[in-house]
Amino acid sequence: MLKRLYEEYDLSMERILIKEYKRLKLTMQEMTVLLALFSIYKKRRTFSINAINRRVEYSINEIGSIIEKLLSKGFMTIELEKKDGKEREVFDLNLTFDKIQDLFKADEIEKKEALVETEVSETIKRFEQGLGRLLMPYELEMIRRWYDENKVSHKSIIEAIESAQDRMSVKYVEKILTQQVPEKIEIDQDVDQALDEIFKKIK
C-alpha cells in the first residue's frame, strides 16, 4: 500500500523518514543514507556506493558501514541480478515500506483501543449513575464482553441504557441488545483506506 502511494502519488518519503526515524530505531546517519537510496530508487535499482556518496557527506567507508547496518536492521536488501549476460548488484527498499506501514497500522490500532476504553468508561458511568452504586465484577465483565465481541455499536448500547429507564440493570440492557437485529460494525473501516488517507495528508 505504502509503496503504491510512493510510486503512484509521489508520496514524500523524506518527510516520513525525518519525522519517524527515531521510532523506526534509525540513527541520523542511517536515515540520511536511506534518503539517498530513495532518491536513487525511482531512477534505477542498481546499487552503487559512489551514487550514494554524491548525495551525502560521508566517506565511502562510512557509507559501507551504514549500508551494513541498514541490511542487518532489515530496511533493505541487495541481490545479484543477471542482465544481458552481466551481473550487477540491485537494491530493494520494500522492507522499509513495510516497516513504516506497520508503524502506522500500530498507531491506528492504538487509537482504536483508546476509543474503546473511553466508550467502556462512559457505559460504566451511565450504569453507575442510573443504579446509584458501583457495578459488580460480573456486570463489568458483561459490559466488557459487549465491546470485545463487537456485535453491537457503542451507540446501540447507550440507547439501550436510556430505554431501560426505571428497569435499569446490566442484565436487562443485555436482553435489549440481544433482541436487536445484529448490525454490521465497521471496527476500523478498511485499514488500507485509512492508511491511504494518512499518507495523502503527509504528502
Read off the CATH number of the domain in which 49 is found.
1.10.10.10
Q: Taking a C-beta distance cutoff of 8 angstroms, is the pair 127, 143 a contact?
A: yes
Asked whether residue 118 carries a pLDDT value surpassing 70, the answer given is yes
Q: What is the pLDDT of residue 189?
A: 53
Domain membership of residue 63 (yes or no) is: yes
Contacts of 192 (CB under 8 A, 6+ apart): 1
136 three-class SS? coil
- Give the span between the Cα atoms of 11 and 93, in whole angstroms: 15
Q: For cell 547496518, name the residue.
A: 69
Range of the domain at 70: 2-92
Q: Where is 83: in which H helix or E strand?
A: strand 77-83
Residues 28 and 75 in one domain: yes
Average pLDDT over residues 120-143: 94
Higher-pLDDT residue of 184 and 14 is 14
Question: Of residues 193 and 1, which shows the higher confidence score?
Answer: 1
pLDDT at 187: 46
CATH code at 124?
A: 1.10.10
**For residue 186, is pLDDT > 60?**
no
CA Rg, the chain, in Å?
26
Q: Is residue 201 part of a domain?
A: no
> Which pLDDT does position 17 carry in this prediction?
95
Residue 187 placed within a domain: no
Whether 116 and 169 map to the same domain: the answer is yes
pLDDT (tens digit, 9 = 90+) per residue, 26-73?
A: 999 999 999 999 999 888 889 999 999 999 999 999 999 999 999 999
- Nearest-angstrom CA–CA distance, 174 and 176: 5
pLDDT in tens, 76-106: 999 998 877 888 999 999 999 999 999 999 9
Examine the domain organization and report whether 38 and 75 are in the same domain.
Answer: yes
Cβ atoms of 187 and 148 within 8 Å: the answer is: no
Closest CA to 73 of 47, 104, 52, 99: 99
Count structural domains, the chain: 2
Residue 190 has pLDDT above 70, yes or no: no
Q: 83 and 146, same structural domain?
A: no
Q: What is the mean pLDDT of the chain?
A: 88
Residue 117 pLDDT > 90 = yes
Q: What is the mean pLDDT of residues 176-197?
A: 62
The model's confidence at residue 2, banded by pLDDT at 50, 70 and 90, is: confident
Q: Write the pLDDT tens digit of every residue in 64-76.
A: 999 999 999 999 9
The DSSP output letter for 46 is: B
Pick from 68-77, 143-152, 177-186: least confident? 177-186
